[in-house]
Structure 1
């Protein structure tokens, strides 16, 4: 059992990082006029520029050696072939099989899965067409005009992010809504203006036991039956995406209206499956398949390209370099395209739920940083919120800038202003401005020496803040598919290099289990005396005030 810190490449990178911390990116650009050409990759869906990182040719060669020492290519082969690389749960990790266009045979536990995937797509196509064309009707014979997707986590965030990103491609024949929060305000606000006779609910839950999802589904069912006065209406207004058909049928959903999920697809990587049914209904099945095509193209690039030309591997290596070796504790995702307003939140879940771990594959505590905190916002909004922190705080935050050459909603002059900020911000974060430059600028503006002495230190920007730039031609189902798959593979490679289990989420389970127990206490009014004093008194205060107001 060899830990990562024992690898020769790891040790060399640790020493190299000490040297690099004394350098400035602006000087590296001055010394190397071909820096952009060396540190960028042009792919069909987008350009990736990673030249604005604190790296040299030597840095990248050491990182490529680390990838080889960690056997990234071997683990990539294991994932795509269906080996159980989710070792803590004994499962394969095969979200890539959901968009496999090569028709290659894939086995999981001795069972060939390609036909099951194809059958699910056929069923999705047939169903989504029926809803969109008005052939699927509610209990009173009215066509479906609104779809409400009920799910949480991966069963909600991925599909919602995609439908928001591709809103301009929807013909609005059906309105799609999302309910994830168990706070009753959300489902109440969504259902209030809708007509129960023309609403279809999609309940997405692998186990069909997820507390938040089932609570919302039960509320939706009561809302429907209080209008129809007939429990049989559930059959016309509810479908499910689940691996637990018994629970779904017991709820009242017909078996033929249950879409398959598989344990070899993690929730946060599941939008390519029937979890993406609301996407297909909103955009049309053809556009859903274009989304899958874009992801498959990235899969091919990831599998076929050498390490030093491989975009997901390079992004993963840079993340490890910036976080584990250079000490950055967070990373910002900064889209400069309104269509991607949910992308930062989606990446929060995808990366932090995957790689926010502190023990190795072998259950041994690790003593190096793993995944950074992922956060972000639309670029222009962020500029007037937290970019001050990005530019001048003592904490260096690497950032990914994501933009488009063409707007999906062209309005004269707007996109040029947007993209001017896009290019300027990453340049400013890299170059900064020193005190001498500040003083000269203020002097040219006619400021007094006293004013210059007072203000100059406050206007200094150290720069040297690393960024990646992803520049797409235009937001489309295909480019969004490629973009998501790019980050999925980046996350996988990160996990391999950091030697952690990326595909479980035990940290999610602990809080949920405790919540289930406390909910029983809240209902019966009896507090468990073994709670710590804080939790016990918080519950007591909650109940006292609540009962007083009744």
Structure 2
């Protein structure tokens, strides 16, 4: 059955005309035209407040975007996702990450899967309590004090983000993360640890992920070199995997393996046993609160009508700028140091999910899909790339993530941070005209001619769209809701674009070619040469090895 494309929807042409008419519109004038614009363009759900009033979005365009979502059947698609329909059509499987945080199965057909989830959560809880109570010892009898999660992609980004963001909730076990196959990553982590008191969690569904296994083998040898026997390895290794045989060959018995099912994609897996490391770090009760926050967002996503649905609204804004204003970038700026890894997490979620060029039925798409997502923690970005946001030629919508309180107790410093975040949002909106710039220069004591010459360099166009997502504090509940919000946003955008958000075939070819090149670097002779540039670089690599 042919996919429904964005351009097939009746509202698309009308939105195109509306967007053209708004390209010279003033967001500030919208506030004058709509006295209640902030109230009308604000949504609240699961402890989050989303203010989208500072957007190039008239009341008419907003209404037409809602109509677009209704024509695409987004509400029905949300139900299909949460009830486990096989929406991953290229792999013929559902995407049931929402079941990982559910207390009850949405359908009787999913009860068996939910029982598996709850059984695994009980095992996770046992490990959390065992480690945090000092009941697990290494080969020498030393109590485990440090946990190292070895994974890559979704097996690293999610747990690392949650551990960082919820540092206020950490207990006595220190959790560390290694992802890069560059030996410096693992080496620098192990330098400060003792093999006698370190536990490794190997996260690989297939137990074949090359980067993860290379790091795992080095960690294994590190423990053995410290005096452990191969029979002692189970004291120092857990695995999150479906390949029990490969884990056993490594030295990890079945009872030290927790499952990851094929209906959970890697970038959606922090809610599963992949999240064991951060559950150990913050404690089981806080991890269940993290799940509960996400479940609240799931409920909102399924129940709220399109006009009040926070994930759907975020998706419609993404579509609005990507497909009607040709915006190729999107920036996420968390004004919280603990959330500094949120942009990296969202990069994978957004670009691995929706970086596609064909529809679900294989047809080439006539439009762009996922924007390039980037960002950093505020206020550091203000002294680097914010210059481009304010005065650059590219349109780049921004999401400001703003906790209203801090766990540090340093309220005065946090007040300064919040002021900076609000100021950046307002500056993107207001800008500064050449006349205003000239007046400011005259106040500095410049002559009229000097001010006239310099004013264009100080002028800023403003009218730059931005969203503010605020919440009382970074807690397990609000963090869970925030990540689930962006998960569902990503899904809705994929549905509007007519693509499959749950496969990632673009990753596979690079892996295959990488293995071919590795075999050549290891000395294997193959008849067919590679491209001249790659052959030259391999030759230079061989020469560099001879110099060492």
| TM-score, with length taken from structure 1 | 0.97
CA drift at 1:440: 2.6
SS of corresponding position for 1:52: coil
TM alignment of 1:362-441, pairs within 5 A:
362-441=361-440
CA drift at 1:34: 1.3
For residues 280 and 150 of structure 1, what CA distance do their matches in structure 2 show? 15
The residue aligned with 1:27 is 29
Check 1:288–1:95 CA distance in 2 against 1; reply closer, same or farther (3 A cut).
same
Q: Is the 8 A contact 1:92 1:264 kept in 2?
A: yes
SS of corresponding position for 1:413: helix
The residue aligned with 1:59 is 61
What is the CA deviation profile of residues 187-214 of structure 1, one whole-angstrom value per residue up to 9, with x for unaligned ones? 1111122111111110000000000000
The residue aligned with 1:215 is 214
What is the CA deviation profile of residues 294-316 of structure 1, one whole-angstrom value per residue up to 9, with x for unaligned ones? 00010011111010001000000
SS of corresponding position for 1:504: coil
CA drift at 1:224: 0.6
CA drift at 1:458: 0.8
Q: Is the 8 A contact 2:44 2:310 kept in 1?
A: no
For residues 513 and 526 of structure 2, what CA distance do their matches in structure 1 show? 13
TM alignment of 1:122-521, pairs within 5 A:
122-171=122-171, 173-521=172-520
For residues 412 and 248 of structure 1, what CA distance do their matches in structure 2 show? 48
CA drift at 1:539: 0.8
What is the CA deviation profile of residues 100-140 of structure 1, one whole-angstrom value per residue up to 9, with x for unaligned ones? 023444536xx831110010001100111111111111112
- The answer to whether the aligner puts 1:96 opposite 2:118 as a matched pair is no
For residues 292 and 455 of structure 2, what CA distance do their matches in structure 1 show? 53
For residues 216 and 266 of structure 1, what CA distance do their matches in structure 2 show? 22
For residues 82 and 436 of structure 1, what CA distance do their matches in structure 2 show? 58
CA drift at 1:412: 4.1
SS of corresponding position for 1:176: strand
Q: Is the 8 A contact 1:106 1:114 kept in 2?
A: no
For residues 280 and 292 of structure 1, what CA distance do their matches in structure 2 show? 11
For residues 229 and 72 of structure 1, what CA distance do their matches in structure 2 show? 55
For residues 263 and 376 of structure 1, what CA distance do their matches in structure 2 show? 31
What is the CA deviation profile of residues 277-326 of structure 1, one whole-angstrom value per residue up to 9, with x for unaligned ones? 00111111111100000000100111110100010000000010011111
Q: Is the 8 A contact 1:14 1:325 kept in 2?
A: yes
The residue aligned with 1:11 is 13
SS of corresponding position for 2:177: strand
Output the aligned Cα RMSD: 1.3
Check 1:527–1:463 CA distance in 2 against 1; reply closer, same or farther (3 A cut).
farther
- The answer to whether the aligner puts 1:69 opposite 2:71 as a matched pair is yes
For residues 378 and 154 of structure 1, what CA distance do their matches in structure 2 show? 21
Check 1:528–1:37 CA distance in 2 against 1; reply closer, same or farther (3 A cut).
farther
Q: Is the 8 A contact 2:242 2:260 kept in 1?
A: yes
Which residue of 31, 39, 42 corresponds with 2:41? 39
For residues 499 and 546 of structure 1, what CA distance do their matches in structure 2 show? 49
Check 1:339–1:229 CA distance in 2 against 1; reply closer, same or farther (3 A cut).
closer
For residues 197 and 68 of structure 2, what CA distance do their matches in structure 1 show? 56
CA drift at 1:525: 5.8
For residues 470 and 412 of structure 1, what CA distance do their matches in structure 2 show? 20
For residues 504 and 469 of structure 1, what CA distance do their matches in structure 2 show? 30
What is the CA deviation profile of residues 22-77 of structure 1, one whole-angstrom value per residue up to 9, with x for unaligned ones? 21112222222211111011234121100011001111111111111111111111
| TM-score, with length taken from structure 2 | 0.97
For residues 7 and 32 of structure 1, what CA distance do their matches in structure 2 show? 28
For residues 346 and 519 of structure 2, what CA distance do their matches in structure 1 show? 34
CA drift at 1:521: 0.8
Q: Is the 8 A contact 2:97 2:265 kept in 1?
A: yes
Q: Is the 8 A contact 1:529 1:536 kept in 2?
A: no
CA drift at 1:541: 1.3
For residues 216 and 63 of structure 2, what CA distance do their matches in structure 1 show? 52
